[in-house]
Chain A
Amino acid sequence: MGVKSVEHIDRLYWLGRYSERVYTTIKLYGKRFDSMIEEDAEGYEEFCQSLEIPNIYTSVEDFREKYPFGRDDPNSIYSNLMRAYDNAIELREEIGSETLAYVQMAVYELNKAAISDAPMIEFQNILDDTLAFWGIVDDQIEDEETRNIIKLGKRVERIDLYGRLRVDRASMRREVHRINGRIDRSGLRYNKQALARINELIEEEDLNYPEIVREIEKILEV
């Protein structure tokens, strides 16, 4: 298509970020949910701390209900998915109806899970839709810049989440190497100093996670 407005660029980037946030937080929530079945009843407090979201939950049951489905909770999976959807729906002519459909289907699946007796099992459909969304971004979006901006958003979000969750060094290094290969292809101006600093940080023996998070959050500040 060739021409893109500032707003579309922003939406492409945040579509990438929010879809990744939905995917990773569903997986994290699944693990935490599992650990809270028999024990670790207070585990949600640590979960909130690691993601740096306010612990507004009054009990395990409240957390189980509100974190995935809370419509008024800005940090819920629902809110993040709706932000992905809000960006995607304004990008139909850019990403195509086929691509948009996977975000739309994830919304339907989350609404189904919200009224299900076994929501955890239903989440698999949302993960499948998100994976299919990533697949179709690669397969069907012809414009390389469009593709790469979405994927840049995804990579930035993943490094951000990995930093907050203190994932192992190997996983972090893999994600940073991926962003190194992606960022120039997005065509966006970015903070080269921040990227260089992240590359230094991942070479350190003990990763300085808070600094990695601070630097990745500055990546598009130029």
Chain B
Amino acid sequence: MEVRERIDLLERADIVNSLLARYGVKFGIYKNNTFHEQLFPFDPIPRVIGKEEFAYLEKGLKQRVQALNLFLKDIYNEKKILKDKIVPEEFIYASSGYLAQCEGIVPSKGVFSHISGIDLVLGKDGVWYILEDNLRVPSGASYPMIARELCRRSSPKTFQSVSVADNRSYAELLKKTLDYVNTGGLTVVLTPGRYNAAYFEHSYLAEKMKVPLVSSHDLITENDKLYFVDYSGKKEQVGAVYRRISDEYLDPMNFNHESVIGVPHIFDIYRKGNVAIVNAPGNGVADDKGIYYFVPKMIRYYLGEEPILHNAPTYLPYYEEDMTYVLENFDKLVLKDVAEAGGYGVVFGNSMSSKQKEDFLVLLKREPRRFIAQEVIDFCDLPIQEKGEQFERKADLRAFVLSSDEPVVWKSGLTRFSRNPDSFIVNSSQGGGFKDTWVLNQ
């Protein structure tokens, strides 16, 4: 990139951030039981991925998502992977993401994880490592979409001189994914409402796909079909629901009975194949942090291939051998509670006081299935700009894989960075910012 164009992009970062504020590009967060809307700070220096490097990632991500989809189909049906003892049963049935209600169900067109958000980091050794798979309701694609739109306005010459794959077709890709599994009728985005952390994304994607954004009270179930009821009382059948509500709250008749944001009996209609729910309920069993350990084994088992992308070296204290390793190397490991998400439940062995460590070890020995331990990946810093100066900060990448007739990797992604120089935690809920992700065309 020419110097002048690079300067344009950086100098106009404040304008881009003020436009992001103008369009209400925010996320919600609860602090002390009070809801706050916060702007998601945007850094103008993109993460740049070369064409060849992306081709490698693309191949690895497709492979991983294909295996995860096969795993989900298998777990809720034949369970061959359990019978063949590749994955221990207790990792399935003890997982909070496993839903017995999904047993025997094959969703429309056999797709379970339609939108997969795969978190990766680039190690200082030049190797990309998968940190986690998000197969329930992964969010974040809307942020680079709108940031790209605004950066193109603020620095058109940059995009004239650098050939970057256009990421603004995400909504079309998503609509195509939803249409593929639609069982006949409207496609809608189902939101729990504006006090959800990702409400901006729900409404923005509905706008860009030109589909209705609905709440549970707009939908009714009748004669084994799902309907949207309009203001005049007219009913229109719904064939695909892009739900941004977690499994637990999706249907009070089948899951959490206290849910007031779900649609009663929607799951029964889904079970009968009369509506597609995207992503499929029960996917949590495959993105559990404990199951992560087994994904390379799944790839070998279902596809007969060697995994292209690497997991971070992971230990399961559930296995005696791994427990011994964890106890001996505690200070150099990061420990994760498999039930937590969003950067919570993550502790670094070397940051604990001796009392904390003592308490933690008691817990670990009592509930070994609850934790995984990983080597701390020394991942690459990326430059960020703050008050005109540049600093290096930890950053990850959430890649999006959309599965319809075949998996497609979106040629972009959400790059999140830590704003704290000493932190590896990049989540927006913990004060992180985001960058656009450029995939070069050549």
- A contacts, CB < 8 Å to B: 1, 3-9, 86, 89-90, 92-93, 96-97, 100-101, 104-105, 108
- Nearest-CB distance from A137 to chain B (Å)? 15
What are 15 A-B pairs with beta-carbon distances under 8 A?
Answer: A1-B211, A1-B212, A3-B186, A3-B230, A5-B228, A5-B229, A7-B215, A89-B199, A90-B203, A92-B206, A93-B203, A93-B212, A93-B213, A97-B204, A104-B21
**Which residues of chain B are within 8 angstroms of A96 by Cβ–Cβ distance?**
207
Q: Mark B8-49, 1 if CB is under 8 A from A, else 0.
A: 000000000000011110000000000000000000000000
Task: Give Cα A101–Cα B204 distance, bound, in whole angstroms.
Answer: 12
* B214/A104 in contact, CB under 8 A: no
Question: How long is the Cα–Cα vector from A101 to B21 in the complex, in angstroms?
Answer: 9
Interface centre among A5, A93, A104, by most B CB within 10 Å? A93
Chain A residues whose CB sits within 8 angstroms of the CB of B215 once the complex forms: 5, 7
A8 touches B231 (CB 8 A): yes
Nearest Cβ on chain B to A63's Cβ, whole angstroms:
29
Asked if residues B207 and A97 are in contact (CB atoms below 8 Å), the reply is yes
Q: Are A5 and B218 in contact (CB under 8 A)?
A: yes
Task: Flag if B213 contacts A4 (CB, 8 Å).
Answer: no
Find out whether the CB atom of B23 lies under 8 angstroms from the CB atom of A101: yes
List 14 additional contacts besides A3-B236, A5-B217; criterion CB under 8 Å.
A1-B210, A5-B214, A5-B230, A5-B231, A7-B218, A92-B203, A92-B206, A93-B213, A97-B23, A97-B204, A97-B207, A101-B24, A104-B22, A105-B22
Bound together, the chains give a CA A101 to CA B207 distance in angstroms of 14
- Cα distance, A90 to B212, chains bound together (Å): 11
A74 vs chain B, min Cβ distance (A): 19
Most chain B CB within 10 A, of A6, A9, A86, is at A6
A210 CA to B21 CA, complexed, in Å: 42
Complex interface: chain B residues within 8 A of A4 (CB)? 212, 230-231
B194 at the interface (CB under 8 A from A): yes
Q: A8's closest neighbor in chain B, by CB?
A: B231
- B228 touching A100, Cβ below 8 Å: no
Count residues of chain B with CB under 8 A from any CB of chain A. Answer: 25
Closest to A90 in B: B194
| CB of B213 to closest CB in A, whole Å | 5
A150 to chain B, nearest CB (A): 15
Residues of B within 8 A of A6 (CB): 218, 229-231
Q: Determine how close the nearest CB of chain A comes to the CB of B25; give it in whole angstroms.
A: 9
| A100 close to B23 (CB less than 8 A) | yes
**Contact B21–A108 (Cβ < 8 Å):** yes
CA distance A4 to B206 in the complex (A): 13
Which residues on the B side are within 8 Å of A104 (C-beta)? 21-24
Of chain B, the residue at the smallest CB distance from A5 is: B218
Question: Which residues of B178-214 are within 8 A (CB) of A?
Answer: 186, 189, 194, 199, 203-204, 206-207, 210-214
A96-B210 Cα distance, complex, nearest whole Å: 10
Q: How far is the CA of A7 from the CA of B191 in the complex (A)?
A: 14
- CB proximity of A24 to chain B, nearest CB, Å: 24
Which B159-190 residues have C-beta < 8 A from chain A? 186, 189
Asked if A101 and B217 sit within 8 Å, CB to CB, the answer is no
With A3-B212, A93-B203 in contact, is A9–B23 under 8 Å at CB? no
For B214, the closest partner residue in chain A by CB is A5
User: Which B residues are CB-close (under 8 A) to A108?
Assistant: 21
Q: Which residues of A contact B228 (CB under 8 A)?
A: 3, 5
Q: Are A92 and B230 in contact (CB under 8 A)?
A: no
Alpha-carbon distance between A8 and B236 when the two chains are bound, in angstroms? 16
Check B24 against A89 for contact (C-beta < 8 Å).
yes
Question: Least Cβ distance of A93 to chain B in Å?
Answer: 4
On whether A9 and B231 interact (CB within 8 A), knowing A93-B213, A97-B23, the answer reads yes
In the complex the two chains form, is A92's CB within 8 Å of B204's CB? yes
Alpha-carbon gap, A4 to B212, bound state (A)? 8
Q: Across the interface, which residues of A come within 8 angstroms of B214, CB to CB?
A: 5
> How far is A93 from B213 in the complex, measured between Cα atoms in Å?
7
B207's contact among A3, A86, A93, by CB below 8 Å, is which? A93
Instruction: Considering the complex, give the chain B residue whose CB is closest to the CB of A104.
Output: B24
The 9 closest A-B pairs by CB, nearest first: A92-B203, A93-B206, A93-B207, A5-B218, A9-B231, A6-B231, A93-B213, A101-B22, A104-B24
Closest chain-A Cβ to B187's Cβ sits at a distance in Å of: 11
Q: Which of chain B's residues 136-173 have a Cβ closer than 8 Å to chain A?
A: none
Neighbouring B residues of A9 by C-beta, 8 Å:
231
**B-side contacts of A8, CB under 8 Å:** 231
Distance in angstroms between the alpha carbons of A4 and B231 in the assembled complex: 6
Residues of B within 8 A of A86 (CB): 194
Cβ of A7 and Cβ of B211 under 8 Å apart?
A: no
Question: How far, in whole Å, are A7 and B203 apart by their CA atoms in the complex?
Answer: 15
Q: Is B230 within 8 A of A89, CB to CB? A: no
* Cα–Cα, bound, A9→B228 (Å): 14
Q: Which residues of B contact A105 (CB under 8 A)?
A: 22
Determine the distance from Cα of A150 to Cα of B152 in the docked complex, in whole angstroms.
32
- The distance from the CB of B214 to the nearest CB of chain A, in whole angstroms, is 7
Nearest chain B residue, comparing its CB with the CB of A89: B194
**Across the interface, which residues of A come within 8 angstroms of B231, CB to CB?**
4-6, 8-9
The CA of A97 and the CA of B150, in the complex, are separated in Å by 13
Nearest A-chain residue to B18, judged by Cβ? A108
Residue of B nearest to A96 (CB): B207
Closest to A100 in B: B24
B194 / chain A contacts, CB cutoff of 8 Å: 86, 89-90
**Chain A contacts of B186 at CB under 8 A?**
3
Distance in Å: Cβ of A165 to nearest Cβ of chain B: 32
B303 to chain A, nearest CB (A): 38
Name which of B23, B189, B229 has the most chain A CB atoms within 10 A of its CB: B23
A97 and B215 CA atoms in complex are apart in Å by 19
Residue of chain A at shortest CB distance from B208: A93
